[in-house]
Structure 1
């Protein structure tokens, strides 16, 4: 729930940072600062997406363990699942890394629940990869600027 409340604040922070970079009077090292800040924001987005996915898994897990109509798991009995498959549902498996909720049939085969965690996992990977790439770029840029300029000797 906290992730849902923090998302608008995160978006406002991104817009404010981009506007501050565009305005005149910025610091001389604004490019490296922006790379570092962007890496931190991408990492925060990856964590936020993970928390949303893990929260959805926890909700589906809770829903499958409480109430009279909880077995088989409601997430496994979506409208898109044919009745023939629903008759063979035995149990479910919840996974928090990566977030996912699988429905298990009596023959041992599984299918993903109606939660659809593929998009969440894709966003986690993209944001985490972007954060890593931005952090490496910021580090390389800082190291390149710290090196003294090459001296050429002419005779």
Structure 2
């Protein structure tokens, strides 16, 4: 049986600031992120299985990505937990804002690595995460490939 890759796309809005950066992105700002999640596996061959012919039900993949990434990061503001922005983060949280503190600089590159870990941990054992593409703007994106991280 052949290995097949399937992809599902997601969108979410997230704010962040890059502490120590020498450009405009040092300021708190946001993006309309587009996340493409590609998994690889073999289609189910059991004709009695309701998911016969599928690698993974798109609905099952959606549930994983929604719970691990979209629901957590959508309309949140992400800061490195070691940044001086921590005072701003505390104030935003006191005012009821959704703030995520991470142990990395919240660039697209680092976020896509974080997302890869979150998603991989939830996939069924016979399905592997092949790649992620996190698009930050119309012309800028970061990609993660399993083959590059063996």
TM-score relative to the length of structure 2: 0.25
**Largest Rg, 1 or 2:** 1
Q: Which has the higher strand share?
A: 2
TM-score relative to the length of structure 1: 0.25
Q: Which has the higher helix share?
A: 1
